[in-house]
């Protein structure tokens, strides 16, 4: 690990010499990269770690580590499923309103899922949104059956299409990414796929930046924290199975430069996100694109929204609690609502949760993109009982919410 950090230090100093950045900025950059390397040692040293950063315009690789080693894609598989769906839309074989049948097989998929049954009415667009936000395995299987007749045949179609795109080391066995020893890929192949999704489907790519969507009265939040924590990020996909670790593909744009990053095999979601941010920062620096300060967002405070019922913990070193939390350690809990298309909608949800209890400070934060604006309400400075009470009130009215504890980064989606 020390040798790795030494190589990072030497590479950063060579870069600083080339671009002649100021000494203060150089010191900050070196410390940031070294701190990230230290935090990431669990994944860097593992035999399942891979990463790559690619210039989307040219395909040139800026950073790579074990980029051609076989890895399990987990739910990054759904990027290929969606590529096949977008092709069908482009070729007018399907429309966004096309009904997607749900078989017993599709409904039986393990979580994460939308909870589909054979009686569920599901449109193609709803299935797309289920994949890009909740990473729904039941919707993925249903799409595979719609396009391929059965999921096994669809996986064969996926593999053939992947090879045609230049993904020479990828084989698919299912449409979802659920565990299968024969379903393998590489970081480089996934970057190639992400680049094709951006370039081949400019009209559909926006789905990957969807912050949330409403399905049968439930607000489904996006699993991808970098959409709101990394400036310029506009997709693409998260993934996890036990054999793979935590995976992430991210596309980010700054100025005229779009980069695609892939991180495979992280030990935890927070580690994965921080490592991806550091890699993208290094990539933009190599492209002479200024890397600005981090935005005031959930990651900057060591918190985030997760779309599953499991808790996720970050290192204490990664935490930077808000001032209100530091000043009032007993009131260190925060609640965030799901996303709404208007500020008024977010305020109404917050008002509903606060009915009968005047506690916490309310703020409305942007949660979407320039072309698809969304807003969420955030209540800070709460006790644990108040936070969980607010979230329970939102649940009773079918709103999504997330509870975060500022001191230990313990998150629980509701």
Task: List C-alpha distances in Å: 159 to 50, 68, 155, 182, 249.
Answer: 21, 17, 6, 12, 19
Cis preceding-peptide flag for 325 (omega within 30 of 0) = no
Quick check: 125 and 94 in contact, CB under 8 A?
no
Residue 161 three-state SS? helix
3-state secondary structure labels for all residues of 275-344: HHHHHHHHHHHHCCCCCCCCCCCCHHHCCCCCCCCCCECCCHHHCCCCHHHHHCCCCCEEEEECCECCHH
Q: Which of 75, 112, 209, 229 is catalytic?
A: 75
70 CB burial (10 A radius; 0-12, 13-18, 19+): middle
Active site residue 383: no
Q: Which of 135, 176, 229, 339 is catalytic?
A: 135
Q: Are strands 361-366 and 257-266 parallel, antiparallel or unpaired?
A: unpaired
Task: List C-alpha distances in Å: 97 to 89, 123, 127.
Answer: 11, 5, 10
Enumerate residues 6+ apart whose C-beta is below 8 A from 321: 301, 302, 332, 406, 407
Enumerate residues 6+ apart whose C-beta is below 8 A from 285: 15, 19, 29, 291
Active site residue 38: no
Q: Which of 50, 51, 78, 237 is catalytic?
A: 78
Strand partners, 238: 248
For tokens 């179609």, name the residue: 157
Report CA dihedral (241, 246, 252, 257) to the nearest 10 degrees: -100
For tokens 């309400």, name the residue: 377
Active site residue 134: no
Of 193, 165, 220, nearest to 79 by C-alpha is 193
Q: Which tokens in the block code for residue 286? A: 């190599």
Please give the positions annotated as active site: 75, 78, 135
């Amino acid at each position: 690990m020390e040798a790795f950090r030494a190589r990072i230090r030497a590479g950063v100093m060579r870069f600083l010499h080339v671009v002649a950045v100021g000494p203060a900025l150089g010191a900050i950059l070196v410390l940031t990269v070294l701190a990230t390397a230290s935090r990431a040692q669990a994944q860097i040293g593992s035999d399942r770690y891979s990463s790559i950063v690619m210039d989307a315009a040219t395909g040139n690789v800026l950073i790579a580590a074990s980029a051609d080693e076989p890895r399990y894609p987990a739910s990054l598989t759904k990027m290929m499923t969606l590529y096949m769906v977008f092709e069908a839309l482009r070729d007018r074989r399907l429309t966004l309103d096309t009904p997607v049948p749900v078989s017993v097989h599709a409904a039986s998929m393990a979580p994460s899922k939308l909870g589909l049954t054979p009686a569920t009415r599901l449109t193609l667009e709803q299935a797309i949104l289920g994949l890009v936000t909740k990473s729904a395995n039941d919707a993925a299987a249903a799409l595979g059956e719609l396009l391929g007749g059965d999921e096994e045949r669809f996986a064969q179609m996926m593999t053939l299409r992947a090879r045609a795109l230049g993904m020479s080391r990828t084989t698919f066995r299912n449409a979802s990414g659920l565990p299968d020893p024969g379903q393998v890929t590489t970081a480089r192949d996934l970057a190639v796929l992400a680049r094709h999704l951006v370039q081949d489907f400019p009209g559909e790519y926006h789905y990957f930046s969807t912050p949330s969507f409403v399905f049968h009265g439930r607000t489904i939040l996006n699993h991808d924290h970098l959409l709101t924590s990394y400036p310029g990020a506009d997709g693409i996909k998260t993934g996890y199975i036990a054999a793979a670790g935590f995976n992430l593909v991210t596309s980010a744009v700054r100025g005229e430069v779009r980069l695609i990053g892939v991180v495979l095999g992280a030990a935890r979601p927070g580690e994965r996100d921080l490592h991806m941010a550091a890699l993208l920062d290094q990539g933009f620096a190599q492209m002479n694109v200024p890397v600005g300060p981090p935005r005031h967002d959930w990651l900057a405070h060591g918190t985030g929204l997760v779309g599953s019922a499991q808790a996720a913990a970050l290192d204490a070193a990664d935490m930077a609690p808000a001032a209100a939390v530091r000043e009032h350690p007993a009131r260190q809990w925060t609640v965030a609502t799901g996303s709404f298309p208007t500020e008024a909608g977010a305020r109404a949800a917050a008002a509903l949760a606060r009915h009968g209890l005047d506690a916490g400070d309310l703020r409305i934060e942007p949660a979407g993109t320039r072309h698809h604006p969304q807003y969420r309400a955030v209540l800070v400075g709460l006790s644990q009982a108040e936070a969980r009470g607010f979230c329970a009130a939102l649940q009773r009215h079918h709103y999504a919410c997330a509870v975060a504890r500022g001191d230990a980064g313990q998150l629980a989606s509701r």
